[in-house]
Amino acid sequence: MGRSGTVTAVLLVLLTCLAVNEARGEDREVRRQTRVMEKVFDTAMIESENALVTRGENTQGVYLEGYGVVFTLEFSFVDRKSRKLIEMLDDLDSLKVYWEEMIGLSKEGGPLAQQRREQLDHVREELIGILIGYGSTLSFLQPSEVVTVVAFPWEDAWDVSPAPVRNMTIRAKAGDLRAYGEDRIQEEEMKKRLEIVEVTR
């Protein structure tokens, strides 16, 4: 199954679960708290210096009874090099240097893949910060339930070094998030308890 098929399948499952929950008269407070978290993720990603996202509702969250909350979102990378291109349009020497750099950066496993690996690491840390900083606000969750963030690239995969990544999952137990929010565990310990998985091509 291709990347678009995977995303479609995940979204269909989430939408189906959401429809079932609403049909059961899902607690409005559950939806309210989930939507607040969606907006927190969206705002942080829009303000990120590394993640490129569409404005508006990028993050989708749904509560699965007995499991927890799953948030999905998509992003690409901010291309810092392209920002300089407009500034160079009247300077042929600078344009030549720019294109030489771009050709070198674009080589497989080259500097661009390494740069994007760094960007992906930065975005992962931003998502972790949101998860542990605001996860305890999902007060309806049972301690054994989890909060899961699944991030997808716009394209088939993030072209990073040493191997392209198709998606990234960050998962935390609600009980741990609550303990961190109540200062019963420290940030370093909270991060050790996270489950982080990258699916490579």
pLDDT digits 0-9 by tens, 94-105:
555 544 555 555
Is pLDDT at 43 greater than 80 in this prediction? Answer: yes
Token pair of 39 as six digits = 């907006």
Percentage of the chain lying above the pLDDT 90 cut: 66
Pairing of strands 165-173, 68-77: unpaired
Provide the 8-state DSSP code for 48: -
Pairing of strands 51-52, 146-153: unpaired
Q: What is the predicted pLDDT for the residue at 89?
A: 55
Q: CB-based contacts of 135: which residues, under 8 Å, 6+ apart?
A: 37, 147, 172, 174, 177, 180, 181
Percentage of the chain lying above the pLDDT 70 cut: 72
Alpha-carbon gap, residue 105 to 102, rounded angstroms: 5
Q: Which sequence spans correspond to the domains of the chain?
A: 3-77+119-200
Burial of 167 from C-beta contacts in 10 A (0-12 / 13-18 / 19+): buried
Q: What is the largest CA-CA distance in the chain?
A: 66
Is pLDDT at 121 greater than 50 in this prediction? Answer: yes
Burial of 150 from C-beta contacts in 10 A (0-12 / 13-18 / 19+): buried
pLDDT tier at 23, thresholds 50, 70, 90: very low
Please spell the DSSP secondary structure of 55-111, one letter per residue: SS---EEEEETTTEEEEEEEEEE--HHHHHHGGGTT-HHHHHHHHHHHHHHTSTTSH
